[in-house]
Amino acid sequence: MDLFQWERNPWGQEILVRISWDLLWASIVIGFLFVVAHLLFRRLWMPRILAAERAQQRTESVPDGVPERLSRHSLASRLFHWVMAAAMFVLLITAFVPVIGLQFPWVTIHWIAGLALIGAVGFHVVHAIVCGDLRAVAVEAADVQDLWQRFLRAIGRPAAAPAKHPKYPIANKLYHHVITVVSGVAIATGLLMMVRVRTPFWTRNPYLLAEQTWGWVYVLHGLSAVALVSLVVAHVYFAILPEKRWLTRSMVRGWIHRAEYLEHHDPRRWAPRGEPTSGDGHGQ
């Protein structure tokens, strides 16, 4: 399997052009193997782990006055998520479908979707700083300890019963940080690459960087793109799992039920506000 594609310029020099498309197929295979491995784990080992957890369930006091519905995602957060998701799917499709020979004006669609993604991410950053709680995605010592306990249980070693989560489990936090870095690389290199594309915003300038530098820009953009393929596959897979659908529903309607909150979350680490119900215009 080749990792990079090279070409010779008019002066006979060998220059780096982009990543090899073999890496795309490798990314798809990695995503598929991850899904298969997790399905096997979920079928063979998870029931035993869950049974042991129920037998060793920690006794925790349930706070009084927990509303029937609790807010999890604001409207702004949900709009960002779905705009970002749509832009990401369009970007991946327009980036890789031409590899199999389909011809359509993918370059224009690609850079427009890229600008939509940049706008959504920019809005999210400002909204998170001004209105959000950045500590919600910070990895804490309790998260690391809980992750270690869960790993010991997964391999059949004795360990204390896992703790309930704050707003986001450590797996979600780690995923958030990884996709932030990967998509950040894709955005930064994509903005540079737009200089070589005819748009209404500026004059095309393919000579802004040296040929070899352009090659590395395209390589970094391609590597981040193929990494996003595996990350998106994993994200969609977990979103449709039966035991995770309550989280997916919360990204649509913005709230979770009291039973879901008490089952999964530690009230001492996350205390959301109540949402209005059909019988109460002011919440509970």
For the segment 176-216, what is each residue's pLDDT rounded down to a tens digit?
A: 999 999 999 999 999 999 998 888 888 888 888 888 899 99
What pLDDT is stored for residue 280 in this prediction? 42
Provide the residue range defining the domain that includes 31. Answer: 4-55+73-264
What pLDDT is stored for residue 61 in this prediction? 57
- Residue 100 confidence class, pLDDT cut points 50, 70, 90: confident
Tokens of 87: 């832009």
Rg (CA), the chain: 23
How far apart (Å, rounded) are the C-alpha atoms in residues 216 and 200? Answer: 26
Tokens of 243: 């035991």
What pLDDT is stored for residue 56 in this prediction? 52
- Residue 46 confidence class, pLDDT cut points 50, 70, 90: confident
Mean pLDDT of 46-64: 61
3-state SS class at 268 = coil
3-state SS class at 75 = helix
Q: Are 228 and 186 in contact (CB under 8 A)?
A: yes
Q: Is residue 94's pLDDT more than 50?
A: yes
The answer as to whether 62 is a domain residue is: no
The answer as to whether 282 is a domain residue is: no
The answer as to whether 122 is a domain residue is: yes
Q: Are 7 and 17 in contact (CB under 8 A)?
A: yes
Residue from 116, 120, 118 nearest 78 by CA? 120
- Residue 112 confidence class, pLDDT cut points 50, 70, 90: very high
Q: Is residue 25's pLDDT more than 90?
A: no
Mean pLDDT of 111-124: 94
How far apart (Å, rounded) are the C-alpha atoms in residues 232 and 31? Answer: 9
The answer as to whether 158 is a domain residue is: yes
Tokens of 138: 């910070």
Q: What is the CATH number of the domain that holds 238?
A: 1.20.950.20
Number of domains composing the chain: 1
Q: Does an H or E element contain 17, and which?
A: strand 14-19
Mean pLDDT of 47-71: 68
Q: Which residues contact 90 (CB under 8 A, 6 or more apart)?
A: 109, 110, 113
What pLDDT is stored for residue 282 in this prediction? 34
Q: Is residue 104's pLDDT more than 50?
A: yes
Q: Is residue 55's pLDDT more than 80?
A: no
| pLDDT more than 90, % of the chain | 45
The three-point CA angle 107-110-115 to 5° equals 130
Q: Is residue 39's pLDDT more than 50?
A: yes
The answer as to whether 275 is a domain residue is: no
Q: Is residue 284's pLDDT more than 50?
A: no
Q: In the chain, how long is the greatest CA-to-CA distance?
A: 77
Please state the pTM of the whole predicted model: 0.83
3-state SS class at 98 = helix
The segment with the largest mean pLDDT, out of 15-19, 89-93, 156-160, is 89-93
Tokens of 45: 């080992």
Of the two residues 231 and 101, the one the predictor is more confident about is 231
- Residue 281 confidence class, pLDDT cut points 50, 70, 90: very low
